[in-house]
């Protein structure tokens, strides 16, 4: 039984937001652009929507390059939602 409190403490520490891995905006932008590229290729998304979403990602990439990771992540999520993609990170 003495191991249980130690195990619970370890679980709580690793679940803490302070220990959560930070999401990289560059990775998320790249993943979404690749998804858009593939969706255009297979005809899932039209050229007009592809162009608009890609233009949004160019602006989002500028935020990312400027070190505004959190703002860029939020912009990726907003762009996904705007164009009908699930607004979640991968």
For 14-53, how does the pLDDT look when each residue is reduced to its tens digit (9 = 90+)? Answer: 444 443 458 899 999 999 999 999 999 999 999 999 999 9
What's the pLDDT at 10?
47
- Whether 3 maps to a domain, the answer reads no
Q: What is the mean pLDDT of the chain?
A: 83
For the chain, the domain total comes to 1
- Whether 28 maps to a domain, the answer reads yes
Sequential DSSP letters for the chain: -THHHHHHHHHHHHHSGGGSPPPPHHHHHHHHHHHHHHHHHHTSS-HHHHHHHHHHHHHHHHHHHTT-HHHHHHHHHHHHHHTTS-----
- Whether 88 maps to a domain, the answer reads yes
Q: Give the residue, 72 or 87, on which the prediction is more confident.
A: 72
What's the pLDDT at 23?
87
- Whether 10 maps to a domain, the answer reads no
- Whether 63 maps to a domain, the answer reads yes
- Would the pTM of this model clear 0.75, i.e. be above it? no
């Amino acid at each position: 039984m003495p191991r249980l409190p130690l195990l619970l403490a370890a679980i709580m520490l690793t679940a803490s937001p302070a220990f959560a891995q930070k999401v990289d905006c560059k990775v998320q932008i790249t993943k979404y652009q690749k998804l858009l590229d593939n969706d255009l290729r297979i005809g899932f998304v039209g050229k007009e929507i592809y162009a608009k979403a890609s233009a949004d990602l160019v602006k989002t990439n500028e935020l990312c390059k400027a070190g505004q990771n959190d703002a860029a992540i939020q912009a990726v999520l907003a762009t996904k939602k705007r164009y009908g993609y699930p607004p979640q990170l991968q």
